[in-house]
Structure 1
Amino acid sequence: MFLVVSQVALAQNTINSVRVWPSPDNTRVVFDLDDKPDFSYFMLKNPSRLVIDLKDTDKLKTLPSIPKEHQIVSKLRYSKPKDAKSVRFVFELAGAAKPVVFALLPTGPYKHRLVVDLHDKSYQSTPAATNSTPAKKRAINQERDIVIAIDAGHGGEDPGSIGPSGTYEKDITLQIAKRLERMIDAERGMISRMVRRGDYFVNLNTRTSRAREKKADFFVSIHADAFTSPQPSGASVWVLSLRRANSEIGKWLEDKEKHSELLGGAAGVLKDTASEKYLAQALLDMSMDHSMKTGFSVAEEVMNELKKVAKMHKKRPQAASFAVLKSPDIPSILVETGFISNPREERLLKSANYQERLAEAIFKSLKSYYLQNPPDDSLFAKLKAQYPTKHKVRPGESLSMLANRYGTSVNKLKTVNNLKSNTLFIGQELDIPQS
């Protein structure tokens, strides 16, 4: 009899924690359990509620409170269970919501999980829904701003890589992304659109679709590198490869991206046949070729700026088959700001000053590229037509004279044109840096 009772007791599953991850259009609630959950659920109306039953599961002593400003879930509470061995949760909802409930096997830092995604049916994604001032709203086909989509890697349920002292990659990437956002929005003729603004997970296909909704001209994804050993160091810039990654680090990162989808809860990018069909069709078009060429050109610009700030892991842009780079109509790059698995670089990446310098390097590169290659309907195109970017040296002209004429400096003129001295030759063609 004692043996039978003990086995029954051991059969009870245990809830270790309940975590709530709110985002603008959905809320994720995660139950961390010792064993695989045996669950069922149903919806109730008037008022709107989601009810979840967990079989052979113990109660958690306390449930997390829901912030007052929460848009989807107003309260999480217990209700009378089916039987003495079960537990029943009730999600009181603020409005109409679509539930997606699924179990996840142990992966990374997590044991078994039951994931509840509640999607707000009333939510409408609007490109203009940012913190930007009214003056930065995008005009249609008339001196418009160049739109840069900024993707802070990982988030919410997916912490990304974890540094030796416990630093989460998802926190570093969001901090750098917000610094880059501030710089872009302060620049006349440019505007940013953040893929995520807080600590929540956005699956990989959704990241590029959000950029498309916001009419992005360019997509930059920010990450912090990692490897199985602490020795590797340095920043790197990645572009899309339609084949396998061209380095061991690249293969590791491709695996990490797939792992992120599992941490986030849906490995959708691996099984989304519709996306693969969309990509296959787009490959027949010239748009992918254009996007990849643009992405590589920007990647080279970013590397030239980053090497002034950080040690570089590689001298050239690297290629890998990352899902966030596969959008055929939006040029994109992925910037690995350093190895968070390296103790020295982890300390640097946590530094506000270093984050600012990294963000500035990315910003300068994007601005420089689009000053030279502006979309026809952009303000940058108008500025380029008004101010020349080339100058042919005439008799009597000097670097100081030209710097004064074009509102730049002698040092910038020398740097842009790779000049070793102040000597100019008649007929020599100079690139004029745009201010």
Structure 2
Amino acid sequence: MRIGARFIAFGVVLAVMAAEVLAASDVRSVRLWRAPDNTRLVFDLSGPVQHSVFTLSAPDRIVIDVSGAKLATQFDQLALSNTPITGVRSAQRAPEDLRVVIDLSAPVTPKSFTLAPNQQYGHRLVVDLFDQDPGAPAIAPAAPVATAPQAPAAAPQTPPKLTPVAGGKRDIVVAVDAGHGGEDPGALSPVKGQFEKHVTLAIAKELQRQINAEKGFRAELVRTGDYFIPLRKRTEIARKKGADLFVSIHADAAPRSAAFGASVYALSDRGATSETARWLADAENQSDLIGGAGNVSLDDKDRMLAGVLLDLSMTASLSSSLNVGQKVLSHMGRITPLHKRRVEQAGFMVLKSPDIPSILVETGFISNPNEARKLASASHQQALSRSIVTGVKQFFQQNPPPGSYLAWLRDNGKLALGPREHVVSSGESLALIAQRYQVALSALRSANALRSDLIQVGQTLQIPTTALAVQP
């Protein structure tokens, strides 16, 4: 009897497990985000599903078949204006087979994937609809439907300045990246309704406005509205815009609400310089998993970049990143408390560009109620932006890119360079720095009151203007 009872009990367990596997997942809600070149639909699910996607023409439609799912929400509150979607409808083909049809005003290229639960989200099905011709005229608004203020359309990017710079020389281009966005809200604030993604976009737009007011400079926004961009694509956008500098704007969060202060980070090829830096890097690098970048392997990308980090171009980029980062941090310290008084280094994925100096600016702790209120203030956003612009200008006045307006001013004796500075990065020696700047090693020692050639990572060196003499 005991053996029989065990078999019966085992059979009951198997039946329960099978029922759980076969139970349909609910589609609890649907969210929509519009980016400049694509539209994202996110289906929030109560459990995992299988799905397939195919296209139909005449008229253009996308069909999504979801196996093991039933609809527990409505589509009539999606904000469809400024998207190629004219309507969304559904039918339950079987009790556990859902078909969703997306009616379109223009053909699109779909990409879909599922995401496992992550932080504040459960299971999700993500369908990205990529515009086939990004340069085509704007899509006509969809027929009037009931909408909710769920996903505002992307704001148009501020156009580049049209005034040509003197001598026909090019502007210095600064790519301004507003952290997070869309499906990825970033850090949450104790202030109701405040998310990191909104704060960073507001500061990024103010920073763009102030940079564009400077002759010889142009700022380009990486993210212009509330939508998700994978981390790797952010640096690709910066590169396509011809960026001379990449500035990523963020707002910290910490387990302790008392934590406060601004920080600036550059990439470390050996890991973080502190436990705080390591914790922040791990948190920020989860953005692709939270927002959903498809089949992204963060580990694979790190291995791919391992060789690049050894390249001399990365060494030069890291040095410039530390240099501009220290200048920005110094000026930020004049208008807001600092969490760290030197540039921290950590493995932020968004900073891994071998050819563009890159810094990540943590403007304050959004998890701190006092700082959260300051970060939401337009006057504080303006002051923060002014401090960042001042540091960026100082760096480029001392290191004007070839062919730029500032380089033209320098070459014609119209630019007061002031003292040059160099922030020591990993793997550099005093002799290599002297050779890079074409100054005598003895002059470099003298300018920095060095008794030996020993230098430390993060140390700021003054570069003398003395011409290169015979090396002692």
Pair 113,211 (structure 1): closer, same or farther in 2 beyond 3 Å:
same
Matches within 5 A, 1:230-241: 230-241=257-268
Q: Answer yes or no: is 1:246 the counterpart of 2:273.
A: yes
Q: Answer yes or no: is 1:223 the counterpart of 2:250.
A: yes
User: Is the CA contact 1:204–1:269 (under 8 Å) kept in the aligned structure 2?
Assistant: no
Partner of 2:175: 149
Q: Name the amino acid aligned to 2:130.
A: H
Q: Name the amino acid aligned to 2:176.
A: I
Aligned mates of 1:378, 1:39 — CA distance in 2: 52
Cα-to-partner distance string for 1:139-164 (whole Å, 9 max, x where unaligned): 9x941000000000000000001012
Pair 283,376 (structure 1): closer, same or farther in 2 beyond 3 Å:
same
Q: Name the amino acid aligned to 1:156.
A: G
Matches within 5 A, 1:24-43: 24-43=36-55
Pair 60,138 (structure 1): closer, same or farther in 2 beyond 3 Å:
farther
Cα-to-partner distance string for 1:46-93 (whole Å, 9 max, x where unaligned): 2222111223433244213343322x3332222x44324432111123
Q: Name the amino acid aligned to 2:81.
A: K
User: Is the CA contact 1:142–1:378 (under 8 Å) kept in the aligned structure 2?
Assistant: no
User: Is the CA contact 1:142–1:377 (under 8 Å) kept in the aligned structure 2?
Assistant: no
User: Is the CA contact 2:177–2:204 (under 8 Å) kept in the aligned structure 1?
Assistant: yes
1:231 CA displacement: 2.2
Partner of 2:130: 119
Q: 1:67 aligns with which of 77, 80, 105?
A: 80
Partner of 1:266: 293
1:138 CA displacement: 8.8
Partner of 1:15: 27
Aligned mates of 1:133, 1:35 — CA distance in 2: 46
Q: How many corresponding residue pairs? A: 382
Pair 115,390 (structure 1): closer, same or farther in 2 beyond 3 Å:
closer
Partner of 1:14, secondary structure, is strand
Between stretches 207-216 and 362-371, larger displacement belongs to: 362-371
Partner of 2:343: 317
Partner of 2:383: 357
Q: 2:403 aligns with which of 368, 377, 380?
A: 377
Pair 93,243 (structure 1): closer, same or farther in 2 beyond 3 Å:
farther
Q: Answer yes or no: is 1:95 the counterpart of 2:106.
A: yes
User: Is the CA contact 1:66–1:75 (under 8 Å) kept in the aligned structure 2?
Assistant: no
Partner of 2:94, secondary structure, is coil
Between stretches 36-45 and 257-266, larger displacement belongs to: 36-45
User: Is the CA contact 1:74–1:93 (under 8 Å) kept in the aligned structure 2?
Assistant: yes
Partner of 1:176, secondary structure, is helix
Aligned mates of 1:267, 1:133 — CA distance in 2: 32
Q: Answer yes or no: is 1:297 the counterpart of 2:310.
A: no
| TM, length-normalised to structure 2 | 0.75
Aligned mates of 1:289, 1:157 — CA distance in 2: 34
1:318 CA displacement: 0.2
1:271 CA displacement: 3.9
Partner of 1:205: 232
Pair 59,284 (structure 1): closer, same or farther in 2 beyond 3 Å:
closer
User: Is the CA contact 2:263–2:363 (under 8 Å) kept in the aligned structure 1?
Assistant: yes
Aligned mates of 1:88, 1:138 — CA distance in 2: 56
Partner of 2:71, secondary structure, is coil
Q: Answer yes or no: is 1:55 the counterpart of 2:67.
A: yes
1:130 CA displacement: 4.6
Partner of 1:397: none
Aligned mates of 2:309, 2:271 — CA distance in 1: 17
Cα-to-partner distance string for 1:108-166 (whole Å, 9 max, x where unaligned): 111111111112222269xxx95325515799x94100000000000000000101224
Partner of 1:347, secondary structure, is helix
Aligned mates of 1:73, 1:130 — CA distance in 2: 22
Partner of 2:460: none
**What percent of counterpart residues are identical?**
43
User: Is the CA contact 1:160–1:168 (under 8 Å) kept in the aligned structure 2?
Assistant: yes
User: Is the CA contact 2:161–2:218 (under 8 Å) kept in the aligned structure 1?
Assistant: no
Q: Name the amino acid aligned to 1:358.
A: L
Aligned mates of 1:137, 1:76 — CA distance in 2: 47
Pair 39,137 (structure 1): closer, same or farther in 2 beyond 3 Å:
farther
Partner of 1:163: 189
Q: Answer yes or no: is 1:340 the counterpart of 2:366.
A: yes
Pair 360,276 (structure 1): closer, same or farther in 2 beyond 3 Å:
same
Q: Name the amino acid aligned to 2:288.
A: E
1:258 CA displacement: 2.7
Aligned mates of 2:207, 2:335 — CA distance in 1: 15
Q: Answer yes or no: is 1:45 the counterpart of 2:57.
A: yes
Partner of 1:387, secondary structure, is coil
| TM, length-normalised to structure 1 | 0.81
Aligned mates of 2:332, 2:59 — CA distance in 1: 54
Between stretches 281-290 and 23-32, larger displacement belongs to: 281-290
Q: Name the amino acid aligned to 1:222.
A: I
Partner of 2:93: 82
User: Is the CA contact 1:227–1:249 (under 8 Å) kept in the aligned structure 2?
Assistant: no
Pair 69,267 (structure 1): closer, same or farther in 2 beyond 3 Å:
closer
